[in-house]
């Protein structure tokens, strides 16, 4: 079966996000009142699998994220 997968990878709480800090500062300089801006990574793909949850979890642990510094969440929907 084919699945539409979306994976969101974030730095764990308390870790430095230099890209988020720079973008947040730039938005403040433009007059926007933003705080604690973070820059997650988003992966979207179609997966052919009989066990999509297991495979996506393995992908996250092995390549898409570093379990020491990242958290991740994902959605899996059948392709229509």
> What pLDDT is attached to residue 80?
84
Q: Of 44, 40, 42, which is closest to residue 11 (Cα–Cα)?
A: 40
Q: Of 31, 56, 57, 27, which is closest to residue 39 (Cα–Cα)?
A: 27
pLDDT tens-digit series, residues 3-61: 999 999 999 999 999 999 999 999 999 999 999 999 999 999 999 999 999 999 999 99
CATH class entry, domain 2-78: alpha beta
Please report, for the chain, the start and end positions of each structural domain, with discontinuous segments joined by +.
2-78
Give the Cα-Cα-Cα angle 41, 67, 76 (nearest 5 degrees): 55
Instruction: Please state whether beta strands 70-78 and 41-48 pair in parallel, antiparallel, or not at all (unpaired).
Output: unpaired
The answer, yes or no, to whether residue 63 has pLDDT greater than 90, is yes
Instruction: Quickly count: other Cβ atoms within 10 Å of residue 19's Cβ.
Output: 12
DSSP category for residue 13:
T
């Amino acid at each position: 079966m084919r699945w539409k997968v979306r994976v969101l990878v974030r730095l764990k709480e308390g870790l430095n996000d230099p890209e988020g800090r720079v973008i947040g500062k730039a938005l403040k300089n433009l007059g926007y009142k933003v705080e604690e801006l973070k820059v997650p990574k988003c992966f979207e793909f179609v997966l052919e699998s009989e066990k999509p949850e297991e495979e996506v979890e393995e992908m996250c642990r092995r390549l898409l994220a570093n379990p020491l510094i990242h958290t991740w969440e994902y959605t899996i929907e059948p392709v229509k």
